[in-house]
Structure 1
Amino acid sequence: MLSQSAAAVPKLSDHSADKRMLLLAAMALVVGAGGALGAWVLLKLIALATNFFWFARLSADHAAITDAPVGLFIVAIPALGSLIVGLMARFGSDKIRGHGIPEAIEAILYGQSRLSLKVAILKPISSAISIGSGGPFGAEGPIIMTGGAIGSLFAQCFRLSAAERKALLVAGAAAGMTAIFGTPLAAILLALEVLLFEWKPRSFVPVVIAVLVAAACRPALIGSGPMFPMTARLPATGPALAAAGLLGIAVGLQATLLSALLYRIEDLFDRLPVHWMWWPAIGGIVVGLGGVVDAHVLGAGYGSIQALLDGALGLRVVLALLVVKGVVWLVALGSGTSGGILAPLLILGGAAGALAGHLWLGDPGLWALAGMAGILSGAMRAPLTGALFAAEVTGLFAALPLSVASAGTAYAVSVLIMRRSILTEKIARRGRHIRQEYVVDPMDLMQARDLMTADPATLPGTMTAGDALRFFAEEADHRSYPVVDAAGRLLGLASRTDALGWRVADMPADRTLADLVSDAAQPVAYAETPVGHVADLIVETGVGRIPIVDPVTRRVVGLLSRHDLLKARHSHRQMETARSRFRAEAAGK
């Protein structure tokens, strides 16, 4: 008889959720509060650094760099802050370099979702120094890394799988983003489109809970209401959607150009004959020179975002912001300093939209919003996040159709022209390829009956060991065969390796296969078993051919081999590439 465990087949359902999802959901309550607290600490650190570098005072109150009376020291201060960040990266941890999201993705996909305490501490401090000293970055990238580290560290205190740690890491990242921007829906979509690389209840539910906890904590820690409130009179729907689509094409090209320029600049820094520790300081000098041209390009630039959305900037100022902010941001980020990309992208996309408003569409503020949605979608390959973020961060949900139109076309342009996003290009340069297309595994769509060899060749249980040796030596076409009784019921599996073992052990030639294989716990599957489960059986047991049996009679009805599993992928590939014309009348014949 086959062992009960060997013949067990999982109960089939639409989702793979189990009671551990509830455990992760409970843990997400703590992670969400930790992410919100981490966001508050990061904002206070940025304010503290801003006051220290630009006003020579110790204060955590909000301060605007444009109010600082520093004269030509405006060139030296960003360089000094960036030098400190370079030293922290060199002697602390080089994982604090960059904007944080690629590092979070790497930890998820290749680091079993483990982030260190050192990164959790150094990342917000280095980002605060970078932004506070004038670095043209936002707080979202650092808080995604910091919130993710909080979730990962908390998860590492318990006995969890890598996939479960990933859920809590991403929950912490989404909670931090929610606390900074007040965009819980966009944070959930960012988790799904960029960080999770799956859509399962096990990960989705903890992310939602952590985001809601952060949203509940935000009014007490940071404030309530939209971060960039705006009102606008929406134009007629049809022409406006068409205009938003055209704007999306433009900002999609802009996102592609920015990504290409960023990595060209990184390549130039790689060629410098100095240690990478000094690169941020060199980039800081360029930032300072940009501040001489227009001090509004320094720091996170949240005031500039609000001014763009209010339509308060003239054409010349918008052009200056578009060019100068773009240059200093690209150089600073390419130098390897610490800071985020979301706020600079909002400014650059918003400036492109405002420019279109000034020159053609009218109402620069409304089109700045559409430009922001488009550039987030095109640069990060996250169209749903980009569209909803722009509406949510402004509170102007009536503009959601415009942001969807802009984000959709920008996404289309980006994926057609640019092989990788601004996030994944950095990872690819480290020799790792990431596929950002989520599809159902073809092995989970097919059942054993779809791929098995029906009515396979079998060996009778009455066959002797001597006959089996001769069969495998002279006649066998396969490495192994099911052994069945007179009624066709499975007794076990006999292989060429088994036959050689019998010869070495001087097995009596008259012993039957029924005696030799009946004690083995043979893995089996049923015709309705998902192919993915059969693949797991092959990996776990090392048996290359799994008999498919009738669950009632135990009669062998098929056989599924390693080679058959490849047919699932080939079938899926055929669905993607094989093209033909379909006629209903032909199908009915």
Structure 2
Amino acid sequence: MRLLRALPKRLTLPTLGRWVALSALVGVVAGAGAIVFYYATNYAGAFFLRDLAGYVPPEEGVAHGPRVDSLAMSFRWFLAFIPALGGLVSGWLVYTFAPEAEGHGTDGAIDAFHNKGGLIRARVPIVKTLASAATIGTGGSAGREGPIAQIGAGFGSFLATRLGLTPADRRVLLVAGMAGGIGATFRAPLGGALFAVEVLYQNPEFEHEGLIPAIISSIVAYSLFGAVTGWEPLLQTPRFRFTYPPELLVFLGLAVACALLGMVYVRVFYATRDLFHRVPVPAMWKPVIGGLALGALALAVPQVLGSGYGWIQAALRGHMALWVMLVVCLAKVVATSLTISSGGSGGVFAPSLVIGAMLGGAFGATADALFPALVQDPRAYVLVGMAGFFAGVSNTPVATLIMVSELTGDYGLLAPLMLVSVVAMLTARATTIYEKQVPGRVDSPAHLGDLVVDVLEGIRVRDLGEQGRPPTLVAEDMPLPRILECIAAADTAYYPVVDRQGRMTGIFSVNDIRRILNEDLPPNLVIARDIAVPRVVTATPDEPLSQVLRKLSSRGLEEIPVVDPDDPGRVLYMLSRRSVLARYTRELEHRKGLYAEV
């Protein structure tokens, strides 16, 4: 950790090498977390479902298997109570140690990005890992995407916080962590990177600042995960090829079907959550109730248990009856809502793929019976339905079509995948399974000020000089107890650290003081130089105020030191974000008045 703390001092922010190092480190931890989570869920599932309850679903990645013409399966009667056991463990862990870890973790990471400066408590990834392994391993209808996204994002946030990086940089590492976890878990490095930067927004926008770190993290995590678990795609498919353009008309019908069912899915999902919120029992018991309801459903439709990749594999082989796929499709909507909306811990990606695959398989079989001259291979609709359905409910068409291609190792259906994903997303624009998404970058608190600075054009920092506050200068060798006395009566948010000549060598904030206090170090051994960040973001009196607002917004700063341009070490005064935004408001009102007169 000492080496990591030294890293920002040796490398400047724009340096590519620094971002490569940090993103690669996040990728290593995300990949390791994905490995632990992978084996934890597999071992739990093997023990509780296979060995204890005698429930053996088809395996993913296996090219051969029996035909599924019935919902009947062999299992022991107490299978119905095993999901409730997972709900009990998950509910106790989550609501005792980290309530924000409930539900599907991708939403938690999105919320942290937009509204919390990229902050995720360090305990959340640990709690999320254990709770999700309990939920998924006991048959909960949930996937690995949400938990591993929050695990990777949590470490990215933790690393940035420990290194004292800005909120903007912390958000970038959060995105990199999401990408690494998802890219590794689904053996989809490109899809994972694109998903992390696309899922933040409802509109077709990307968080472009995080794209390169996301790619680096995803590559590293995928490589580590593949070296341990293998390199084969998660699902085996026939060699599909698109060679008949008129079939796009049928795929267009599938896109509309995916969008319509997606809207139903989202409404059922959140209606179930609202219903559980009204249940008058302690929150930790609600996943138990959801687990009991899921177990009752599993007695009739056992195919709803677990992530369900084995059933997708059976559909891709063409070994599932049409009516079975329809029943599993609708039952999986209910099962996922009971598992996650009750407070259980898990992701919505895998269940959504199962729903889309079953819908696509049933649609393809029906289209093949009605229009045999148009449909080349009805099994292809399973793969396309997976992408179309999830793209419609998540507003991530680009990432989804790439991820599904990487999941199956089959790129022969790119044209239908693109058509169905985009049309499904456009048709279902008003709904999303990720309620913490914002419409676009301009709507995100994380980018407040990015697109409104031109109102300040022509105004200089010196125009706000009278609103500047005298700096509270702290000597480099001042010990921590005296620092606390010095800043107790100060009215500034940041404190420049100066050498014996009075020239600034660093700066720190109250949050930096709290970080040091939390480390349980002897106060008299800590001096100002140890606390200060050496690379200081500054402004000069002649600098445009619009540029200063960009600095404040992009780095999440509340105050900036204004320095002498001829002597950058001499601090003239401290300028607050509040003063800049107040001037912006006055200028905006003034311009509105001018427009009204015109």
* TM-score relative to the length of structure 2: 0.69
**Residue 428 of structure 2 aligns to a residue in which SS?**
helix
C-alpha contact 2:94 2:101 (8 A) present in aligned 1: yes
Please list every run of 5 or more consecutive structure 2 residues that lacks an aligned counterpart in the other structure. Answer: 1-11, 60-72, 369-374, 468-538, 563-581
**Structure 1's 55 and 204: CA in aligned 2 closer, same or farther, altered over 3 A?**
closer
Residue aligning to 2:411:
397
Check if 1:137 corresponds to 2:159.
no
Q: Select which of 116, 122, 139 maps to 2:121.
A: 116
Check if 1:305 corresponds to 2:309.
no
Displacement, 1:202? 4.9
**Structure 1's 31 and 357: CA in aligned 2 closer, same or farther, altered over 3 A?**
same
Check if 1:19 corresponds to 2:26.
no
Displacement, 1:407? 0.6
Displacement, 1:206? 1.6
Distance 1:569 1:125 in 2: 55
**Structure 1's 334 and 531: CA in aligned 2 closer, same or farther, altered over 3 A?**
same
Check if 1:422 corresponds to 2:401.
no
Q: Select which of 438, 451, 459 maps to 1:434.
A: 438
Residue aligning to 1:359:
366
**Structure 1's 285 and 447: CA in aligned 2 closer, same or farther, altered over 3 A?**
closer
Displacement, 1:128? 0.8
**Structure 1's 144 and 495: CA in aligned 2 closer, same or farther, altered over 3 A?**
closer
Matches within 5 A, 1:98-497: 98-195=103-200, 202-361=209-368, 362=375, 363-415=377-429, 417-418=430-431, 421-424=432-435, 427=436, 434-436=438-440
Displacement, 1:32? 0.7
C-alpha contact 1:134 1:299 (8 A) present in aligned 2: yes
Please list every run of 5 or more consecutive structure 1 residues that lacks an aligned counterpart in the other structure. Answer: 1-16, 428-432, 454-481, 483-489, 497-520, 544-559, 574-589
Distance 1:124 1:134 in 2: 16
Distance 1:569 1:368 in 2: 56
**Match for 1:42: what amino acid?**
F
**Structure 1's 335 and 534: CA in aligned 2 closer, same or farther, altered over 3 A?**
closer
Distance 1:568 1:147 in 2: 46
Residue aligning to 1:86:
91
Residue aligning to 1:467:
none
Distance 1:252 1:495 in 2: 57
Distance 1:277 1:376 in 2: 29
Distance 2:85 2:462 in 1: 77
**Structure 1's 540 and 38: CA in aligned 2 closer, same or farther, altered over 3 A?**
closer
**Residue 176 of structure 1 aligns to a residue in which SS?**
helix
Higher mean displacement: 434-443 or 252-261: 434-443
**Match for 2:402: what amino acid?**
L
Distance 2:170 2:270 in 1: 31
**Structure 1's 367 and 523: CA in aligned 2 closer, same or farther, altered over 3 A?**
same
Displacement, 1:394? 1.1
Higher mean displacement: 192-201 or 30-39: 192-201
Residue aligning to 2:39:
44
Distance 2:408 2:31 in 1: 20
Distance 1:377 1:22 in 2: 34
Distance 1:177 1:78 in 2: 25
Distance 2:410 2:453 in 1: 47
**Match for 1:111: what amino acid?**
K
**Structure 1's 356 and 112: CA in aligned 2 closer, same or farther, altered over 3 A?**
same
Distance 1:55 1:492 in 2: 72
Higher mean displacement: 105-114 or 66-75: 66-75
**Match for 2:121: what amino acid?**
S
**Residue 326 of structure 1 aligns to a residue in which SS?**
helix
Displacement, 1:123? 0.7
Q: What's the CA shift string for 1:67-89, capped at 9, x where partnerless?
A: 99652101111111111211112
**Structure 1's 569 and 537: CA in aligned 2 closer, same or farther, altered over 3 A?**
farther
Distance 1:494 1:127 in 2: 54
Structure number with bigger Rg: 1
C-alpha contact 2:272 2:337 (8 A) present in aligned 1: yes
Displacement, 1:114? 2.3
Distance 2:259 2:466 in 1: 58
Displacement, 1:364? 3.1
Displacement, 1:535? 7.4
C-alpha contact 2:197 2:210 (8 A) present in aligned 1: no
Distance 1:120 1:491 in 2: 46
Displacement, 1:193? 0.7
**Structure 1's 396 and 443: CA in aligned 2 closer, same or farther, altered over 3 A?**
same
Displacement, 1:175? 0.9
**Residue 413 of structure 2 aligns to a residue in which SS?**
helix
Distance 1:537 1:99 in 2: 32
Distance 2:117 2:449 in 1: 24
**Match for 2:407: what amino acid?**
V
Q: What's the CA shift string for 1:284-328, capped at 9, x where partnerless?
A: 112112221232211111101212222221112111211222211
Displacement, 1:45? 0.7
Q: What's the CA shift string for 1:349-384, capped at 9, x where partnerless?
A: 111111110111443321111111111111111111
Residue aligning to 1:562:
584
**Residue 320 of structure 2 aligns to a residue in which SS?**
coil
Higher mean displacement: 251-260 or 443-452: 443-452
**Structure 1's 275 and 444: CA in aligned 2 closer, same or farther, altered over 3 A?**
closer
Distance 2:227 2:268 in 1: 41
C-alpha contact 2:462 2:541 (8 A) present in aligned 1: no
**Residue 398 of structure 1 aligns to a residue in which SS?**
coil
C-alpha contact 1:290 1:328 (8 A) present in aligned 2: yes
C-alpha contact 2:314 2:320 (8 A) present in aligned 1: yes
**Residue 378 of structure 1 aligns to a residue in which SS?**
helix
Distance 2:561 2:214 in 1: 37
**Structure 1's 328 and 205: CA in aligned 2 closer, same or farther, altered over 3 A?**
same
Cα RMSD (Å) of the superposition? 3.8
Displacement, 1:196? 8.7
Displacement, 1:65? 5.5
Distance 1:136 1:147 in 2: 22
Distance 1:388 1:350 in 2: 16
C-alpha contact 1:155 1:168 (8 A) present in aligned 2: yes
Higher mean displacement: 148-157 or 129-138: 148-157
Distance 1:542 1:253 in 2: 54
C-alpha contact 1:151 1:171 (8 A) present in aligned 2: yes
**Residue 364 of structure 1 aligns to a residue in which SS?**
coil
Higher mean displacement: 122-131 or 231-240: 231-240
**Identity, % of aligned positions:** 30
Check if 1:29 corresponds to 2:24.
yes
**Match for 2:280: what amino acid?**
P
Distance 2:411 2:28 in 1: 27
**Structure 1's 398 and 55: CA in aligned 2 closer, same or farther, altered over 3 A?**
closer
**Structure 1's 160 and 196: CA in aligned 2 closer, same or farther, altered over 3 A?**
farther
Distance 2:323 2:267 in 1: 26
**Structure 1's 121 and 566: CA in aligned 2 closer, same or farther, altered over 3 A?**
same
